[in-house]
């Protein structure tokens, strides 16, 4: 126990060489303590002596001491990581066959060893076998980002550019902040930006079909680029293809914060719902229009035009007080005064007619008077107000 204490003290003082000496003394007297071999392995790892670390972990795992299953699993995982690091080092140093032999000797289906095998095959010039290994990796773990990136780069080397890009976009969906993914984006973005500029010019020149084609090409290069999707969504909205517009806007929302375009996306969604609502209004599908306009206001609560449109919908549904509320709010938000006052007049007149039919002549007189206050050039208003006084 005294020797073990000295070993642990040396570790605390970061004296790795002395710690090894003390652990060796412990093992000289008792070779049946697996934890001591593990401590030695960790020291060898710090010293970048992977072979010695592997040997120590093997000895620890072979001992039948009082070791719980959690420790065994943890040590086995550490041993596998060491084998991986050793194999990777061999490949980097050009010993590809040795790395392949190492992986073969392990008889493991662990994805990281198949990845190692694929990497060794690539370095050895055997791309066909590398593809086979990577496909097996991705069957075992379809979301393994390292395998996706390696396969993408391998596909590029055999001129299968689009397939390689697809692998990189799959990796992007898993971790957009991976350094290789970021490098891929830095290459793709400027090329996609060119298509955005060309598409914008095409729209300005009235060439809508050409703009669609250019946007699609840009999105092939840079999936879910917010400004390209915004541009296409606006074209879909012009064509009254609202479902496609909203689909594009949903995609655009994925990375709108990264591109600083969250306000643009929010506005486009609000405008799309507004146009969708007005389209339903024209078809006299007023209840559906109301639902959609409510959604539009979730995105653009301070837009006078949308409140005006919802007010019109409430008026058609004979929900006059709600219509008046929307019209007044639109007026407060700076909406066009003449349009809003005309609607306020119509709504008060409708309320007056409703009260008149209920024989509430006093109430009708008040509403007709309000209608006149907002629009005094309709003689019918005066005639109906006069009837209330008879």
Domain coordinates of the chain in residue numbers?
1-67, 189-388
pLDDT band at residue 80 using 50, 70 and 90 as cut-offs: low
To which H or E segment does residue 137 belong? helix 127-140
Which pLDDT score is estimated for 387?
A: 56
> How far separated are the first and last CA of the chain, in Å rounded?
114
Tell me the pLDDT tens digit for each residue of 147-191: 999 899 999 999 998 899 999 999 998 998 999 999 999 999 999
Is it the case that residue 286 has pLDDT exceeding 80? yes
Domain spanning 189-388, CATH class: mainly alpha
At residue 222, φ and ψ (nearest 5 deg) are -135, 90
Q: How far apart are CA 51 and CA 44, in angstroms?
A: 8
Which pLDDT score is estimated for 85?
A: 67
Quick one: what percent of the chain has pLDDT higher than 70?
A: 74
Provide CB contacts within 8 A for 161, sequence distance 6+.
155
Average pLDDT over residues 51-74: 67
Q: Which of 329, 324, 327, 376 is nearest to 350 (CA)?
A: 324
- Helical pair 127-140 and 111-123, crossing angle rounded to 10 deg: 170
How many Cβ atoms from other residues are within 10 Å of residue 128's Cβ?
Answer: 9
More confident residue, 59 or 207: 207
Q: Which CATH architecture has domain 1-67?
A: Alpha Horseshoe (1.25)
Which burial class, exposed, middle or buried, applies to 349 when counting CB atoms under 10 A from its CB (0-12, 13-18, 19+)?
A: buried
Which pLDDT score is estimated for 28?
A: 66
Q: Identify whether the C-beta of residue 311 lies closer than 8 Å to the C-beta of residue 350.
A: no
Q: Residue 225 region, left (φ>0) first, then alpha (ψ -120 to 50), else beta?
A: beta
- Judged by DSSP in three states, 346 sits in helix
Q: Which of 168, 248, 185 is nearest to 216 (CA)?
A: 248
Cα–Cα distances in angstroms (integers) from residue 383 to residues 363, 368, 379, in the given order: 16, 10, 6
Average pLDDT over residues 121-147: 86
């Amino acid at each position: 126990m005294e020797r073990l204490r000295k070993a642990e003290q040396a570790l605390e003082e970061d004296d790795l060489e002395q710690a090894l000496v003390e652990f060796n003394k412990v093992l000289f007297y008792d070779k049946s303590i697996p934890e001591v071999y593990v401590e030695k392995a960790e020291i060898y790892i710090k010293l970048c002596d992977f072979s010695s670390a592997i040997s120590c972990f093997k000895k620890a795992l072979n001992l039948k001491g009082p070791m719980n299953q959690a420790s065994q699993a943890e040590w086995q995982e550490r041993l596998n990581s060491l084998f991986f690091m050793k194999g990777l080092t061999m490949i980097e140093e050009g010993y590809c066959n040795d790395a392949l032999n190492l992986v073969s000797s392990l008889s493991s289906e662990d994805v990281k060893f198949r990845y190692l095998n694929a990497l060794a095959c690539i370095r050895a010039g055997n791309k066909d076998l590398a593809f086979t290994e990577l496909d097996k990796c991705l069957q075992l773990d379809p979301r393994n980002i390292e395998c996706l990136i390696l396969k993408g780069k391998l596909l590029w080397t055999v001129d299968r550019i689009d397939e390689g890009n697809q692998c990189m976009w799959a990796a992007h969906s898993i971790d957009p902040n991976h350094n290789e993914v970021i490098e891929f984006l830095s290459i793709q973005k400027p090329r996609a930006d060119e298509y955005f500029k060309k598409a914008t010019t095409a729209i300005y020149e009235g060439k809508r079909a050409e703009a669609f084609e250019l946007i699609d090409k840009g999105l092939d290069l840079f999936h879910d680029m917010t400004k390209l999707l915004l541009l296409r969504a606006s074209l879909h909205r012009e064509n009254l293809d609202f479902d496609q517009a909203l689909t594009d806007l949903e995609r655009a929302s994925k990375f709108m914060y990264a591109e600083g375009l969250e306000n643009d996306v929010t506005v486009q969604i609000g405008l799309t719902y507004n146009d969708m609502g007005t389209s339903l209004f024209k078809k006299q599908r007023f209840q559906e229009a109301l639902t959609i306009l409510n959604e539009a206001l979730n995105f653009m609560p301070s837009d006078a035009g949308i409140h005006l449109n919802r007010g019109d919908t409430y008026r058609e549904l004979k929900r006059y007080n709600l219509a008046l509320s929307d019209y007044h709010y639109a007026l407060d938000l700076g909406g066009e005064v003449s349009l809003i006052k005309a609607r306020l007049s119509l709504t008060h007149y409708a309320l007056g007619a409703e009260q008149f039919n209920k024989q509430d002549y006093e109430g009708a007189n008040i509403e007709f008077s309000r209608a006149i206050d907002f629009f005094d050039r309709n003689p019918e208003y005066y005639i109906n107000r006069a009837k209330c006084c008879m």
